[in-house]
Amino acid sequence: MPGAFARAMDARLREVYADNPAGASSLGLTEYDERSVDLSAAAEDARAAWRADSLAEMRAFPDADLSPDERIDRELFVSVVRGAQLMESHLMWRRQPGDYLGPGLNGIFILFLHRLRGEKDLVDAAVARLEGLVRNLRQGEANLDWAAVPPIYAERALGQAKAAERYVRELLPAEAADPAQRARLEAAGAKAGDACRSFHAYLEANLRRASGGYAIGEALYTALLREKELLPYTARELRERGREQYDLLVAEANRIAREIDGSDDWAPLCERLNHLHAADPEGMRAEYAEWTERARRFLDERGLVTLPPGERCAVVPSPHFQRPVLAVASYQRPPAFLPSLLGHFFVPFPPDGESQSEIDKRLEGNSTHNIPTTAVHEAYPGHHWHLVTAKRHPSAVRKVFSTSYFNEGWALYAERMMREQGFFTDPRQLLYQYEATIFRAARIVVDTSLHFGEMTFDEAVAFMHERANLPGPVARGEVGRYCQWPTQASSYLTGMLEIVDIRTRWLARTGRTGTEGLREFHDTLCGTGGLPTALAERALATASSEREKTT
C-alpha cells in the first residue's frame, strides 16, 4: 500500500492535471481531453492558494520518512511550484495576451498529433476545447490590464491570433476523415475563428495603450535561479559567466574560420554560409530528416547511448499557429504515461503568407551546414533520445515535471559530446556548432540584461543580430521570447556546463573510461528524468549505487 507521501503526491498531481487539461492530454491522460483550462481571475487566485497549500504540505514530510527517490521527487515538485509562486508578483495573467491563446490551441493540436482515441472521440474533445478557447479569449479581455501589458507581448499575440484563426477555421477540419465529423469541426471552428478574429481586433484596438514593462528585476531573477533551479549563483554572476564563455567560444570559432578560408572573424563567414540553404521549406525539412537519421546511426554505431527499442522521431513542419511566434526548431515528446516512443521534431516553417524575402531569411537561419547541429540538439541524442529514455523512470512526478536547465542543458551537451566524438566532419559544420554555443552564451547576456533593465528591446535585437549572427526577424522573435519567459534563455549553456561538471566528477569517482563509461553515464543520467542539475547529480549517484549492487 502506498505510503503517506505517495498518496499526498498522487492527490496533488491529480489536481495539476485538472488545472492543466491540455498538459494532461500531452501526457497521455485522455480522461482530461474534453476539459479546458480556466483562466478567470478567480482561477488565478485559487492557483495562488493551491501553491501555498501544496508547498506547506510537501515541506512538512520529514526526510527520514522518505526514500532517496522520494526526497528527490519532493524537491523537484517544490522547486517547480516555488518557481511559479515567485512569478505571482509579476502578474503574467494581466500582462500576457498570448497566454489566452496558447493553452487552447495547444490542447486542440495535441489531440490530433498523438491520436490516442477514435475519430469521433477526438472530435468531441476538439469541439469542447474550441468552446474552451472562446471562453479563454473572453477571459483575456476581462483580465488584461493594458497599463501592464508590454507592447512586445501584444505585438506577438496579434500574429498568433491571426494564425490561430486560420488554424481553427481552415486547417483543423482537415484532421477528420469522416464528412460528418469534419462538418462538426468546421462549425465549431467557425465560432472559434470568429472569437480569434474578435480577439485580434481587441488587441489591435488596445495596442497603443500597451505600456507595461517586461523586466522582472535582478532580485527575482536570482530567486528563480536559486529556489527554482537550485543553482548556487546570482543572476549577475550568471551574466558574467555568459560573457566569459562568449569570449572563449568566439576565440575558438575564429580559429576554425581561419582554417576554412583564412578569415579572422567567424560571423561574416557564417553570414556567407547562411546563403547555402535549401530552395524551399520542404527542402529544409528533408535536410533535417537526413541529418536526424545520420545522427541516430552515428550513436548506434559508436555505442554512445542505448537506443530504446521502438523509438522513432518524425521530422515534420511546425504547427501553423506557432509559426508567427517561434522561429526555431522544437520538439514534442511522446505521451509520458503511454508506451509510445514516437516523438515529433518540428522544423521551423515560415508563417503563412510571408513574402519571399522573409521566407529566404527563415531559410538562412536554417542553412545547410547549420542543420546537423540542430538535428543533434532536437533529436539524437538531444531532446528526443533524452525524453524517450527518461520515460523508463517510474516516478509520476518526473513524468510531469522537469526543468529547462536540464532539458536544454542536455541538448546543448549532446551537441558538445557529438563534436568531441567526431560527428561534425566538415569544418563548416563544426563552425556552426560553435556558433550555436556562442548563441547560447549571448542569450545569457541578453536575457539577464533585459530583465535587469540594463538593455532595451532594440539593443537586445541588435546584440543577437550582430554578436550571435541571427537574421533580423529571427533575432526579433528570439528577444520577444526572452521578454516573455525570463530565465529560460539562460538555461541552455548554464545547464550544459553543469552537466559537463557532473560528468567529470562521475567519471573520476567511478573510474569508468572510454565509450562504455560515456554510455553508462548518458543512460543513467538521462534515465533519472529532467531534474534541476543538483538533484540530477544526486539521482545519478543513487542510480549508480543501485546498479553496482546488482552487478
Report DSSP letters for 373-427, one per residue.
HHHHHHTSSSHHHHHHHHTTS--HHHHH---HHHHHHHHHHHHHHHHHTT---SH
Based on the fold, state whether residues 124 and 257 are members of the same structural domain.
Answer: no
Chain centroid to CA 211: 28
Length of the chain: 551
Q: Can you give the residue range of the structural domain that contains 83?
A: 4-209
Nearest Cα to 396, choosing from 140, 103, 13? 13
Residue 67 lies in a domain: yes
Asked if the structure places residue 551 within a domain, the reply is: no
pLDDT at position 352 is 81
Query: 56 to each of 2, 53, 81, how far by Cα in Å?
Result: 21, 5, 11
315 phi and psi angles, rounded to 5 deg? -105, 110
Are 375 and 254 found together in one domain? yes
Domain boundary (147, 174, 209) is at 209
CA dist 292 and 314 (Å) reads 9
- pLDDT tens for 457-492 read 999 999 999 899 887 878 888 899 999 999 999 999
Torsion region of 217: left, alpha or beta (phi above 0 gives left; psi -120 to 50 gives alpha): left
455 and 351 in one domain? Answer: yes
Helix-strand-coil split of the chain, %, nearest 5: 70, 5, 25
Helices (H), 278-403: 281-302, 356-364, 371-378, 383-390, 396-400
Task: Determine the 3-state secondary structure of 305 from DSSP.
Answer: coil
Q: Which of 337, 299, 293 is nearest to 314 (CA)?
A: 293
Do 90 and 115 fall into the same domain?
yes
User: Do 31 and 179 have their domain in common?
Assistant: yes
Whether 545 is covered by a domain: the verdict is no
| 531 occurs within a structural domain | no
* Whole-number Å distance between alpha carbons of 347 and 318: 5
Q: Say whether both 235 and 300 belong to one domain.
A: yes
Please report, for residues 160, 167, 376, 380, 500, the alpha-carbon distance to residue 412 in angstroms, rounded to integers and kept in the order given.
28, 32, 9, 11, 10
Distance of CA 446 to the CA centre of its chain: 18
Please list, in sequence order, all residues whose beta carbon lies within 8 angstroms of the beta carbon of residue 355, skipping any fewer than 6 positions away: none
**Which residues does residue 346 pair with via DSSP β-bridges, in sequence order?**
316, 330
Distance between CA 324 and CA 330 in Å, rounded? 14
State the Cα–Cα distance between residues 493 and 490, nearest whole angstrom.
Answer: 7
- Tell which residue, 6, 27, 59, has the closest CA to residue 401: 27
CB-CB contact of 428 with 443 (8 Å): no
Is residue 332 within a helix (H) or strand (E), and if so which, with residue range? strand 330-332
Residue ending a domain, among 477, 494, 511, is 494
Nearest to 272 by CA among 428, 475, 461, 473: 428
Co-location of 452 and 330 in the same domain: yes
Q: Left if phi > 0, otherwise alpha if psi is -120 to 50, otherwise beta: which for 529?
A: left
**Per-residue confidence (pLDDT) for residue 369, from 0 to 100:** 97
Q: What is the DSSP letter of 90?
A: G
Are 149 and 210 contacting, i.e. CB atoms less than 8 angstroms apart? Answer: yes
How much is the pLDDT for 545?
75
Q: What is the pLDDT of residue 546?
A: 73
Using DSSP, state whether 355 is helix, strand or coil: coil
Residue carrying the nine cell digits 543513487 = 542
Helix ranges restricted to H, 148-277: 151-166, 179-206, 218-223, 235-261, 266-273
Same domain flag for 139 and 226? no
Q: Is residue 525 part of a domain?
A: no
Dist. CA 109–CA 448, nearest whole Å? 33
Note whether 303 and 338 are same-domain residues. Answer: yes
Rounded Cα gap, residues 359 and 505, in angstroms: 46
What pLDDT, on a 0 to 100 scale, did the predictor assign at position 473? 78
Tell me which of 494, 510, 533 is where a domain ends.
494
Whether 335 and 236 share a structural domain: yes
- Beta bridge mates, 345: 315, 331
**One domain for residues 231 and 203:** no
Domain contains 543: no
Q: What is the pLDDT of residue 86?
A: 98
* Residue numbers of the chain with a pLDDT score lower than 70: 1, 325, 548-551
| Cα distance between residue 505 and residue 260, in whole Å | 35
Query: What local confidence, expressed as pLDDT, does residue 192 receive?
Result: 98
Number of domains making up the chain: 2
- CB 140 within 8 Å of CB 38: no
Are residue 103 and residue 16 in the same domain, yes or no? yes
Residue 500: inside a domain: no
In a domain, 503, yes or no: no
